[in-house]
Every structure is written in C-alpha cells, then in structure tokens.
Structure 1
C-alpha cells in the first residue's frame, strides 16, 4: 500500500470512529510503528487530525465553520454520487420537489435532468445552474432570492418568504452534520432558518448525507432526526450509528451495500 493510500485509510478510520490508536493501525495495516507515526504527523501538519499520546483524534470543525462549495465538492465524491443515484429513484415524474443547497443535492440534480414534468424549488445557485444548462420545456425551476452564503445558498428573509408560500411533495435536504443530540444542523444561522422553511413546505423529508456527517454539529438545528422520513447514507456509517439512526428516522437506506435483490440495504 502506498503512503498516500495508507494515510487516506487512516483518515477515513479517524473520521468514522473519532479516534485511532497507533498499535491498532500497526496491526491492521501491517507496517511499523514509526511508519504510522510519520503518517499521523503528515496528516496532523495538514490539519486533518490531531495527534495525541498513543494515537490521533479527529479535528472537529467549529460549529460555525462553513467550507465553500468548491471545497466540499472534492470530499467523499464516490459516496455522494452513490447517494445521489439512490435518492433520484425516489422522484416520480410530474411531482414538485425542493432541493436545498449542498454538494450532495447538487449531485442529485444531475440525476434528475431527464425526469419529465418536474417542478423544482431550490435555494442553491449550483443546483439551479444544473437545470439551466439542460433546459426542458416541461420543467419548472424556481430559484429563491436571498443573501448568498459561502456554500452558494440563498438564505434570509427573502428566501424564507418565497418558500413559505409553496408546497412540495418531497424536499431533499443537504446538511452539514447530524447527531443524536443536535439533529440535522448547519453552521449558518440564516441557512438554518431557510432550511426549516423548506422542511415545513414539504410532505416528505429526505436527507441524503454521507457517513462523515455523523456526529458533526453545526451551530443551528434544522430538524430533529425523527423528522426525516428517509435518510440516505453510505456503507461507511458504523453499525452503532446505523442502529441509532434507524431507530429515529422513518427509513434508513445504506448505499454501497447490496441485499439479495441487488438493491441498496434498507433498515
């Protein structure tokens, strides 16, 4: 295994479990203690984890830290693509849907361009651009106004006013984090208010979120976990998290895990 691959494996394990021990990495990866310590040093210098005695822990973002859209697009690309493909299967022709801002909802938009007779409400500039580039006469796209955030969302009173008068069949909600304590969260107070308006206008709430969002907490709660009718995530989510989510959300779908029928696992 190359050093870059090994470091990516270490980083994914830290993100999944919150911490790792040097001894466990030596055993599991079949390399020396010194090699693992060098890998941790490299990752720590890049700000991706924090070295502690005997191992490393995750470097958690602040509750108000909001990465830009371009930065988030490069993260967990394979997982987001799989989640987006599965989420698209929940959209029927002739329905009205809402897509909040986020890179996973942006990936979802690409899978919806061939769905006929859709009405799409969004506060995401990149999502609106996806549909604009591939115009259809039978599709209606409504882009809310508002103040632009680092993640290219339109938020604030103008966005909330536009959304509050609408009713859609399903909202696909991109989130910054999700946890038992805080629910679905965002690091932007105005975006939280706008997202709550999106949730309120929909008959069904679907949250497409990769496994790294688990136990990440933004400053403001959008909705409790129990409010979600469906949560779609990937196989990187650990068993305990799957259990906790499945006990609260209406339905938990795990992509990348095939059942006997070859479909994504539903819990």
Structure 2
C-alpha cells in the first residue's frame, strides 16, 4: 500500500490544489498515480474542491480558477486549504509570544490556527477584529471557567466580511486608539511589488490601522500566498518585521524575501523562533 493512501482527505486535497496551481492543471489518472488512490476518490476530492471554489473541474481533470483581484473566498472555503502548513506556521509563530504581552490577531484561517496555540500563554491581552479568533478564546474560557492568567480579549466592532473579519469605521476607530506589542497578520497575498494585499477595500483600511498600532508586525502566511496580489495593498514589505511561512516556499521566493524583510521563519526548518 502506498504511504499516500493513508493521507487524510484534507491533506490529500491540499496536495491536489498545490499540484493544480504549480502545473496549471492535472489529469485524474496523474493524481491517482501520485496519490496512490482510486479514480473515484480523486473525483470526489475534485468535486469537493470545485464546490469550495479553489479549482475548476474539466473533462478528465482540473485547472486553477481564474480569480479576479476582487474575489474573496469565505472562511469555510479557505479553512480546508493548506491545513498542515497552517498548523506548522501557528506553532512557530506562537514561539514569538511572551507571557503578559499585548498582541493583535487579524482575521484569517492562519491566525485562527495561531489562536489555538496561544491558549496556554499566560496573561495575554488579545486585540482582534476576527469573530472566529475571539470565539477560540471565549470557548476555552467557557470550558475551563475563569482562571488566573487567562487571556483578556478585545473584539473590535465593525461590518463582517466573507472571511469573518470586522472592518469599517467602527473597527478602524477602535484600533487607532490602541497600541500592541505584536501584530500577527494574515494576508490574501504577498509580493515584492504589491506588498501585502486583500480583495476587500474596507479590510485593507482596517489592516492599515492594525499595522500603524503595532510595535512589530509578523505576517503569518503559507507558501501559496506568495506572488498573489489582491485589489488593495495595505502595507509594503518594508513595514513587516518577520514572515512566518511553511517549507513549501520556493528558494527564489526566499531569496527575494531575505532582501526585504529582517526575519524569515520557515516552520519545520527554523528550529526555534527568536525574538524579533
């Protein structure tokens, strides 16, 4: 039995998406050989990924979805992608957080994963415009009851986006009055030319406020975000102190990032997160 037959469905589908994006399209028979599973399994995976809007089925295989720079997938669609990478990134990023810190977490599925890794860090103050992130801390407090050293969570108001972030003037005003040690920022896209970007104009403005209120900015993004450009840029790479990503980031991208960022942390390769 091939080792890949034991992959979880979510891991297998993440590999399929990577293959489609890397090659510009794949055939079902190629995926059955690569993954060591049946045609029926591959076709079910392609059906599920097509429903999530991350690829398009064609006769005999699949191709990437051609997305406009304004396209913004919902939280559920994004949450099933690159799960292993996001968990690795979250663990590496959590090593940067000291007990007693005031931190901010933006919206996104990678910051959602990071929130779970921070539940045992004592005396945190967490500012977030993500309903999902706030729910992680609130659920932990409900299950364990009030405890000394638990996190204090500040959830901004605002208008909800498809990715369950709160944005707009209410969020912007709340964030502008605050100051935090570390901002962990999820992004739709990151590139040398466009910096950090998002398809949502209101979210771009709220992210600008988050960056302005942070002493240090850490971007948490898996390798598929490199080279992606959304409608609106909200920060240049020079405004970022560190990028935490996964081992799938290619060598040429690492070289470019090293020229623009003080620190690159590759989860699984960087043995220990250091102070930034």
Unaligned runs of 5+ in 2: 142-146
Q: 1:10 to 1:122 in 2, by over 3 A?
A: closer
Give 2:82's aligned residue. Answer: 76
Distance in 1 between residues matched to 2:74 and 2:26, nearest whole Å: 31
Q: Does the 8 Å CA contact 2:189/2:228 hold for their aligned counterparts?
A: yes
Aligned residues: 248
- 3-state DSSP of counterpart to 1:212: helix
Q: 1:145 to 1:18 in 2, by over 3 A?
A: farther
Aligned-residue offset at 1:255: 1.1
- Which residue of 138, 157, 160 maps to 2:169? 157
- Which residue of 172, 183, 191 maps to 1:179? 191
- 3-state DSSP of counterpart to 1:78: helix
- Which residue of 233, 236, 239 maps to 2:251? 239
1:134-145 to 2 correspondences below 5 Å: 134-135=140-141, 136-138=147-149, 139-145=151-157
Q: Does the 8 Å CA contact 1:235/1:256 hold for their aligned counterparts?
A: yes
Q: Does the 8 Å CA contact 1:254/1:264 hold for their aligned counterparts?
A: no
1:111-126 to 2 correspondences below 5 Å: 111-126=117-132
2:235 pairs with 1:218: no
Distance in 1 between residues matched to 2:69 and 2:242, nearest whole Å: 25
Distance in 2 between residues matched to 1:222 and 1:11, nearest whole Å: 27
TM-score between the two structures when normalised by the length of structure 2:
0.79
1:163-202 to 2 correspondences below 5 Å: 163-202=175-214
TM-score between the two structures when normalised by the length of structure 1:
0.81
Aligned-residue offset at 1:70: 1.3
2:19 pairs with 1:13: yes
Aligned-residue offset at 1:60: 3.9
Distance in 1 between residues matched to 2:96 and 2:159, nearest whole Å: 30
* Cα distance per residue 1:88-133 (max 9 Å; x no partner): 0000011100000001001100111111111110000010011111
- 3-state DSSP of counterpart to 1:115: coil
Give 1:61's aligned residue. Answer: 67
Distance in 2 between residues matched to 1:215 and 1:97, nearest whole Å: 27
Unaligned runs of 5+ in 1: none
- 3-state DSSP of counterpart to 1:134: helix
Distance in 1 between residues matched to 2:183 and 2:190, nearest whole Å: 17
1:19-34 to 2 correspondences below 5 Å: 19=24
2:122 pairs with 1:110: no
Distance in 2 between residues matched to 1:74 and 1:7, nearest whole Å: 8
- 3-state DSSP of counterpart to 1:141: strand
Distance in 2 between residues matched to 1:6 and 1:164, nearest whole Å: 42
